[in-house]
């Protein structure tokens, strides 16, 4: 079913500029699907990132050539996935060697190459050599029955928030299939099956919802306590980013009650304020706290990333996850408010996302505790997010301090 549906995107015949209802853009363009917090919001995305998807089918000896420009953004990467929506390979920004000059994600001296420097990469149907800008396109033989894969390019925190792709065009794509090469410029209009009616759009929506729903339903350990950050049981099937690790806490709404989360804040390169994404000496490339609906299609409600988070003089943050009616009378400047979203959704989950820790900070990270199979509350120290429910009258009268008794 997945093969038939996605093949319609890969080999369909509708023009990219005006796909009719029920049909996807055809082989005249690449990056047919785009996902973010407002468009195709599925599988717990980060609200400060945009994801472009290229479905493809590769036979033995086939490959895909990519030609792009380093975006002016905090982070970008190429990720490949199989039909189980799990990671096959990751090639991130600071690994992608430039055609000339320096890599602005690997060296602050090359900062001028953001938005200018060119790179090329190749998706191959075999073990990849990252030193040659290769990324493996499909799982090892025997891991899936059909030669279908997905290539996703991610861009986090573009310097210009109005330019989701970081002020550059998406990479040009050339498919090398069966001895024939076909060039695919980026689609003028990405195809969102939720915006169309018709059999193909409906089938795509159903397939994605079912696959992602199954993965999301199994993502949290059974009987996890509420308002306590724990390791996910699995992120497989949710198009996970190979450069991120997560811990999460389940929440439910009750009128007059909010959730408060407090921890020490890691340092980061504030690229929106002019820092280089390659800035040395910072703890993480990126981190965020995101509130999500734990119902299909598992959308993100809202995120507060590192640069959007208020940090006190001691280096700590205090998030409040709250419905507007419960925060209407509070104006505490020490708090960073994350919207609750719909109070009719029975289950919520808030995720802390850590990306690319420095070697010095690594022992305090989600990455380290998950590699060691330890409890994040004991491994992360002051950086572990301690959460609690709090009556809004306590929060208003005594601040977040009163919520932790």
Running along the chain, 405 residues long, what does each successive block of 10 average in pLDDT?
40 35 52 82 84 91 96 97 89 97 97 97 96 95 86 96 94 93 85 54 57 62 84 70 93 94 98 97 97 84 95 96 79 86 90 97 95 92 97 91 89
Residue written as tokens 């920004």?
93
The confidence score (pLDDT) of residue 13 equals 33
Contact partners, residue 131, CB within 8 Å, separation at least 6:
97
Please tell me the class of the 222-403 domain. mainly beta
Does the predicted TM-score (pTM) go above 0.85?
yes
Per-residue tokens: 218:
């199994």
User: What is the CB neighbour count within 10 angstroms for residue 179?
Assistant: 7
What integer pLDDT is reported at residue 212 of this predicted model? 62
Nearest to 17 by CA among 241, 245, 186, 252: 186
List the domain boundaries for the chain: 2-210, 222-403
The pLDDT of residue 38 is 79
246-255: b (≥16 Cβ within 10 Å) or e: bbbbbbebee
User: What pLDDT shows up at residue 15?
Assistant: 36
Which of 365, 343, 347 has the alpha carbon at shortest distance from 292? 347
* pLDDT value of residue 121: 98
* Nearest one of 236, 239, 199 to 1, comparing CA atoms: 199
At 43 the pLDDT is 74
User: Residue 256 has what pLDDT?
Assistant: 93
Q: What pLDDT, on the 0 to 100 scale, is given for residue 182?
A: 92
């Amino acid at each position: 079913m997945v093969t038939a549906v996605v093949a319609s995107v890969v080999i369909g015949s509708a023009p990219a500029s005006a796909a009719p209802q029920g049909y996807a853009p055809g082989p005249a363009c690449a990056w047919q699907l785009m996902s973010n917090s407002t468009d195709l919001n599925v599988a717990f995305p980060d609200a400060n990132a945009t994801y472009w998807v290229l479905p493809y089918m590769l036979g033995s000896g086939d490959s895909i050539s990519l030609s792009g420009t380093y975006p002016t953004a905090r982070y970008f990467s190429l990720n490949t996935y199989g039909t189980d929506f799990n990671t096959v390979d990751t090639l991130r920004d600071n690994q992608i060697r430039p055609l000339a000059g320096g890599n602005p994600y690997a060296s602050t001296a090359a900062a001028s190459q953001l938005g200018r420097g060119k790179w090329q990469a190749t998706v191959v149907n075999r073990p990849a050599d990252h030193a040659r800008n290769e990324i493996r396109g499909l799982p090892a033989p025997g891991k899936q029955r059909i030669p279908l894969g997905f290539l996703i390019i991610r861009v986090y925190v573009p310097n210009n928030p109005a330019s989701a792709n970081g002020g550059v065009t998406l990479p040009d794509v050339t498919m090398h299939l069966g001895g024939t090469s076909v060039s695919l410029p980026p689609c003028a209009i990405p195809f969102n099956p939720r915006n169309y009616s018709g059999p193909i759009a409906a089938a795509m929506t159903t397939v994605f919802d079912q696959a992602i729903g199954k993965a999301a339903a199994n993502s949290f350990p059974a009987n996890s306590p509420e308002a306590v950050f724990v390791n996910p049981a699995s992120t497989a099937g949710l198009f996970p980013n190979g450069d991120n690790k997560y811990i999460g806490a389940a929440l439910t709404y009750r009128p007059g009650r909010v959730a408060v989360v407090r921890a020490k804040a890691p340092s980061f390169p504030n690229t929106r304020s002019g820092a280089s994404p390659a800035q040395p000496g910072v703890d993480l490339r990126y981190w965020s706290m995101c509130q999500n609906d734990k119902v299909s299609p598992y959308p993100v409600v809202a995120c507060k990333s590192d640069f959007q988070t208020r940090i006190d003089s001691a280096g700590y943050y205090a998030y409040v996850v709250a419905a507007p009616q419960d925060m209407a009378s509070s104006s505490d400047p020490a708090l960073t408010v994350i919207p609750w979203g719909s109070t009719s959704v029975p289950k919520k989950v808030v995720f802390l996302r850590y990306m690319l820790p420095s070697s010095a900070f690594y022992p305090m990270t989600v990455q380290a505790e998950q590699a060691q199979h330890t409890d994040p509350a004991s491994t992360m120290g002051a950086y572990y997010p301690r959460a609690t429910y709090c009556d809004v009258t306590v929060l208003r009268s005594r601040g977040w301090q009163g919520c932790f008794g």
